[in-house]
Chain A
């Protein structure tokens, strides 16, 4: 059964899981984009490609944070060295949460396909992972539906990982925001960000850390100061665009730009990077 699930998993031609496989095993893009759903919905690779004359791939994944991105980076640099990385972060993701959004188990299918560095990270996080990995089925846990969808979709992924959102923000449904300052900063995530920066430095990859636009949410909690200090100390360029495009027309919801907003944001950012180099 494990063999069958493996075959199905690696036969996908589109979708989120396919993007992970492509990022780990195939891409040779000059510029890689890392982050959560805000990365996958905000950064359009074709815009960067046209403006910077660099090949580009967006590895952003819904619901994932810095721990996922750090693990993915390790998996990628073990194969090739990209020239540029844009890492999208949001201050809110650096607080401790009841359920960690980082889904490192997303990397389990790759343990037996030459990505031992990923295995070490995942196994370190949970003492029982080693035991569960005796099963050939477990690495493909919860992949059945996405595999079936990815296999049946004959349309190849030509957006290079970008997932456009359509429609506009309904201001009437805006959330009442909780006070982040009550939450504790997650030191593991700060450590993962530090490690991410160090890996980029050791491979001489030009790293830009960005906070992409959000609608009427201020990023001024205690984690913001910690992040700012860290990035200043590490000498990494940090651009906070959280207040950019603050019009509901460009947003799908409070945390995500729609396709129109993503186009404007990507063009602006590509211009900025072009001017710096």
Chain B
């Protein structure tokens, strides 16, 4: 399995395996010494491990971003800012790998996890190929022990895994990649579009990124399940959320809980003064933003989500008491209004996530309110896109009711299998096979 994972990673840029090798050796040794020593020495090993991981990220992911900003700042102050850039491509999935590695050393430091003595098993924990490049970011308590267990062939598990993979592939190629044809055309030419086109492209992007990322997660979880491994759930139908707080409990759960466990709670969590809670939330979300990419757009996206959460918490304090009554919260108008409001706020934030610069995002938001541009009508993409979205919403609504991760669970065996075969036929018939990469691979 480790060899397969190495091959998988090396099929991108082979030499980059050395970067993973570097952090693996450091974290493996740090884990052993964290368990061996006590007192201050343990802290040093933890710090060494964190510096190694964050250092690798800083060099490969953020160096050029820092230099770019430093040079710009220098020019602004009238100095000649010409520090050299690094001509490197970001190693695929580096942010996911380093965060999973850090969760190991932190958990060993906290005493929640025993240090892994077997170098191969530890390496596999941070290189397990289904989730190596785009998560879910696993915790050692959930995954490490599974590599020591014997996994016998289990027909039901294999079938369930294949079904989940099929659903993930459907979301990726039928919905996400189809919608991307429209969103790319609009977002790559922000000055050419306005009003309804930008609004529609943004809604499409919201579903594109969801289907792209949750599709990958489904395929990762499904393929691991086929091999007998259980990975954590990463998405729980986030666009049915009725508040931003709920959205973040349903979206990219493995990252949200990572930040909660390893940053928000150590900063004081909910046990500090209210103003400090607000500050911590903003800080965590801004760091979460920059985790996604070395661009101010991601920082603004994170900050905006942090602001949403703070405003939501403030609103909880001042909103009329009748809005807190359980009866009201279950009424149709409350559900629809709160769901749509949450979705709208999320979409506004996605503009920054998708735009290539903050200036472009500003232009898109400004143009979205101007309706003098012609509507960009790509009829084929719109037809397939809307049909796919309708299908997705209906299926996920049903999945939400059933509390299931599988799209179909019929009583009749033959009907169940036929529905999954239909999904495969739809993938072949209307999927977009242009080799479009997963969005989160770049992180």
What residues of chain A have their CB less than 8 Å away from a CB belonging to chain B? 1, 5, 98-100, 103, 105, 126, 132, 135, 137-138, 140-142, 144-146, 170, 172-173, 175-176
Query: Are A141 and B373 neighbours in the complex by a CB distance under 8 Å?
Result: no
Nearest-neighbor residue (CB-CB) of A135 within chain B? B428
Closest 9 CB pairs of A and B: A175-B192, A137-B428, A176-B191, A138-B428, A175-B191, A135-B428, A173-B373, A145-B383, A137-B429
B374 surroundings in chain A (CB, below 8 A): 170, 173
Nearest-neighbor residue (CB-CB) of A177 within chain B? B191
Please provide the chain B residues from 166 to 205 with a CB less than 8 Å away from any CB of chain A in the complex.
180, 184, 188-189, 191-192, 194
Closest CB of chain A to B437's CB: distance in Å? 10
Complex formed: what's the CA distance from A137 to B189 in Å? 34
| B432 adjacent to chain A (CB < 8 Å) | yes
| B435 adjacent to chain A (CB < 8 Å) | yes
- With an 8 Å Cβ cutoff, the count of chain B residues facing the other chain is 23
Q: List 6 A-B contacts (CB under 8 A).
A: A105-B434, A135-B428, A137-B425, A141-B429, A144-B430, A172-B372
B408 surroundings in chain A (CB, below 8 A): none
| B362 adjacent to chain A (CB < 8 Å) | no
Nearest-neighbor residue (CB-CB) of A136 within chain B? B428
A142 surroundings in chain B (CB, below 8 A): 380, 384, 429-432
Closest CB of chain A to B174's CB: distance in Å? 10
B431 surroundings in chain A (CB, below 8 A): 141-142
Closest CB of chain B to A109's CB: distance in Å? 13
In the complex with contacts A126-B435, A142-B384, A146-B380, A98-B188 CB distance below 8 A? yes
| B436 adjacent to chain A (CB < 8 Å) | yes
Nearest-neighbor residue (CB-CB) of A167 within chain B? B374
Complex formed: what's the CA distance from A146 to B381 in Å? 11
Nearest-neighbor residue (CB-CB) of A172 within chain B? B372
Query: Are B429 and A145 neighbours in the complex by a CB distance under 8 Å?
Result: no
Complex formed: what's the CA distance from A132 to B435 in Å? 13
Closest CB of chain A to B11's CB: distance in Å? 11
Query: Are B428 and A141 neighbours in the complex by a CB distance under 8 Å?
Result: yes
Q: Mark B343-375, 1 if CB is under 8 A from A, else 0.
A: 000000000000000000000000000001110
Main secondary structure of the interface of A (DSSP, over half): loop
A5 surroundings in chain B (CB, below 8 A): 429
Complex formed: what's the CA distance from A170 to B188 in Å? 21
Query: Are A145 and B384 neighbours in the complex by a CB distance under 8 Å?
Result: yes
In the complex with contacts A99-B184, A99-B434, A145-B383, A175-B189 CB distance below 8 A? yes
A175 surroundings in chain B (CB, below 8 A): 189, 191-192
B425 surroundings in chain A (CB, below 8 A): 1, 137
Closest CB of chain B to A136's CB: distance in Å? 9
A1 surroundings in chain B (CB, below 8 A): 425, 429
Complex formed: what's the CA distance from A135 to B228 in Å? 29
B428 surroundings in chain A (CB, below 8 A): 132, 135, 137-138, 141
B432 surroundings in chain A (CB, below 8 A): 142
Complex formed: what's the CA distance from A103 to B374 in Å? 26
Nearest-neighbor residue (CB-CB) of B429 within chain A? A137
| B85 adjacent to chain A (CB < 8 Å) | no
Complex formed: what's the CA distance from A145 to B184 in Å? 22
Additional 10 contacts, C-beta under 8 A, given A145-B380, A173-B194, A173-B374? A98-B184, A99-B184, A99-B436, A100-B434, A105-B433, A138-B428, A141-B433, A142-B431, A144-B429, A145-B383
Closest CB of chain B to A201's CB: distance in Å? 32
Complex formed: what's the CA distance from A141 to B194 in Å? 31
B192 surroundings in chain A (CB, below 8 A): 173, 175
A172 surroundings in chain B (CB, below 8 A): 372
Nearest-neighbor residue (CB-CB) of A173 within chain B? B373
Nearest-neighbor residue (CB-CB) of B181 within chain A? A99
Complex formed: what's the CA distance from A141 to B430 in Å? 5
B433 surroundings in chain A (CB, below 8 A): 105, 132, 138, 141
B434 surroundings in chain A (CB, below 8 A): 99-100, 103, 105
Complex formed: what's the CA distance from A137 to B431 in Å? 11
Nearest-neighbor residue (CB-CB) of B191 within chain A? A176
* B191, B429, B430, most chain A CB atoms within 10 A: B429
Q: Mark B408-443, 1 if CB is under 8 A from A, else 0.
A: 000000000000000001001111111110000000
Query: Are A140 and B191 neighbours in the complex by a CB distance under 8 Å?
Result: no
A126 surroundings in chain B (CB, below 8 A): 435
Closest CB of chain A to B301's CB: distance in Å? 20
Query: Are A173 and B372 neighbours in the complex by a CB distance under 8 Å?
Result: yes
A105 surroundings in chain B (CB, below 8 A): 433-434
Closest CB of chain A to B299's CB: distance in Å? 22
B383 surroundings in chain A (CB, below 8 A): 145
Nearest-neighbor residue (CB-CB) of A139 within chain B? B428
Closest CB of chain B to A40's CB: distance in Å? 16
Nearest-neighbor residue (CB-CB) of A175 within chain B? B192
Complex formed: what's the CA distance from A135 to B427 in Å? 11
Please provide the chain B residues from 373 to 402 with a CB less than 8 Å away from any CB of chain A in the complex.
373-374, 380, 383-384
Nearest-neighbor residue (CB-CB) of A103 within chain B? B434
Complex formed: what's the CA distance from A212 to B373 in Å? 25
Query: Are A140 and B429 neighbours in the complex by a CB distance under 8 Å?
Result: yes
* B184, B372, B380, B428, most chain A CB atoms within 10 A: B428
Nearest-neighbor residue (CB-CB) of B437 within chain A? A98
Nearest-neighbor residue (CB-CB) of B178 within chain A? A142
B384 surroundings in chain A (CB, below 8 A): 142, 145
Nearest-neighbor residue (CB-CB) of B192 within chain A? A175
Nearest-neighbor residue (CB-CB) of B184 within chain A? A99
Complex formed: what's the CA distance from A98 to B188 in Å? 10
Complex formed: what's the CA distance from A141 to B191 in Å? 32
